[in-house]
Amino acid sequence: MNYDVIVVGAGLAGLVAAAEVADSGRRVLLLDQEPKSSFGGQAWWSFGGLFLVDSPEQKRMGIKDSKELALQDWMGSAGFDREDDEDYWGKKWAEAYVNFAAGEKREWLHEMGVRFFSVIGWAERGGYLAEGHGNSVPRFHIVWGTGPGIVEPFERRIREHIKNEFVDYLPRHRVDQLISENGSIAGVRGAILKASTAERGQESSREEVGDFEYYADAVIVSSGGIGANFELIRKNWPPRLGEPPKNMISGVPAHVDGRMLDITEEAGGRIVNRDRMWHYTEGIKNWNPVWRNHGIRILPGPSSIWLDAEGNRFPAPNFPGFDTLGTLQAIQKTGYDYSWFILTQKIIEREFALSGSEQNPDLTGKSIKKILSRVLPGSPAPVKAFMDKGEDFIVADNIDNLVIGMNKLTGEKLIKTEDVEEQIRARDREIENKFTKDLQITALRGARNYIGDKLIRVAEPHKLLDPKNGPLIAVRLHIVSRKTLGGLQTNLDAQVLNESGEPIPGLYAAGEVSGFGGGGVHGYRSLEGSFLGGCLFTGRVAGQAVAAELGK
């Protein structure tokens, strides 16, 4: 078979890139090491959050946003400090992406049938000054249908192109080498893996049953990051975040192993910002795991008290939902790799959501009836299942029994009841009037000025130790691995660059393998909703750039 373009990886970025190339009338070979069940990759498992700026949904919620404010937030969060080298292209991609998020992104998706939940989430609230990290306003647009909802339109386009013979899709084809001829990338070779009946997310066999070699005018690498490769995560772990965790849980399936990074580097591609990564601090062990060490992230509202392993409250602004990496740094510097939330039944009913399409059947299933049930008394069903069956939850009718349960869970008597009680009582005294010096209370009261938070995300401020608000709940929180913020350095046409900063002819990259653009579009920190969006944007750019180059 003769192909114009080979796309390595059938995740979201790969699907977008392949669809864009095939739309131009070029023939595409789409390769993936996983079975057909994994079509769409990590995106299928996601909560489906997208970063949009000044959208109609924001305006309906009374949110005033602008491209200028979003760019200020992005640059303040990214903290680009390698601008003459590793950050040079990442910063340019950041500017381009904010323009995309404030411009044609929503219309482009809307034309393909993508719709959004009406309440906009407020992720990464920052807690610093105006030019520092965080979203100044809510921008987290949840796709109606979550992860499957954002995969579906691109899967539909690819299936149509398979039918009209512009795309050939070969699962269980693992690329082991990029073929170079006369200084250009001319194709790929690798191993055909044994057919597998593994379901989506489950680990598949690596038994080889054959080999392959295919040639094309261009290759687009869209193979994802290193989120399940704990060895590589620890190797690249930056000292600024303390010691790497001895124990982590995995937010992604085992196939997210980073193999193509080394393979592309061997072919001359440059990897930058290896030390930048994005891991969550609010992970819980999945009581019903799909993959090894399966972790789920809590998407918390701002009211829970956050304690370290010894029962000490973290200082401002290490509050739930404010600064992921800042809190990760604070946790790791305690010498432990876990922490605790303490909250009440009132808080968990209003503020706890779980990340992932499978943990949000109402949004994933597009059920308005089930969505409306979120405002009713009682914990959401997925959260209740973790309370009943998950090993990380302690429920008690008083602080003494709560602390006993916490110490029993860890097998260490690190936490003293009197210390925890004293801190919570001090916090509760600040609830008694509208004035306070506790910045967390100020923050949660401020959050309720936003109608979306007041309706479904932030509980009315109350005393934690008042029995009428109970029972008390403690949740042990693990570090859960997730995203690679660095990667293959690319220019604004998604061409992979070599060590001299020159494009490698015939080689492109999209998605997480490229640091979501330029080898690190996020810099040091993400504003959230920008990982799926980065796959969409880089996949689109790569596909269109390849099509344009082949059309010359």
CA of 551: how far to CAs of 237, 265, 495, 545, in Å?
42, 28, 16, 10
Q: State the pairing for strand pair 338-344/305-308.
A: antiparallel
The pLDDT value given to residue 134? 98
Spatial separation of the C-alpha atoms in residues 279 and 531, rounded to whole Å: 13
**Predicted confidence (pLDDT) per residue in 102-119, tens digit:** 999 999 999 999 999 999
368 pLDDT higher than 90: no
CA of 219: how far to CAs of 10, 31, 308, in Å?
13, 11, 47
11 pLDDT higher than 80: yes
Burial category of 500 from C-beta neighbours within 10 Å (exposed 0-12, middle 13-18, buried 19 and up): exposed
Spatial separation of the C-alpha atoms in residues 499 and 268, rounded to whole Å: 7
**Predicted confidence (pLDDT) per residue in 237-268, tens digit:** 999 999 999 999 999 999 999 999 999 999 99
372 pLDDT higher than 80: no
Write down the mean pLDDT value for the chain: 96
466 pLDDT higher than 90: yes
- Bridge partner list, 506: none
DSSP character for 251? S
**Predicted confidence (pLDDT) per residue in 299-327, tens digit:** 999 999 999 999 999 999 999 999 999 99
The pLDDT value given to residue 370? 81
Q: What is the mean pLDDT of residues 38-48?
A: 96
Domains of the chain in sequence order: 3-223+486-551 (3.50.50.60), 279-358+375-480 (3.90.700.10)
376 pLDDT higher than 80: no
CA angle 300, 314, 280 (to 5 degrees): 45
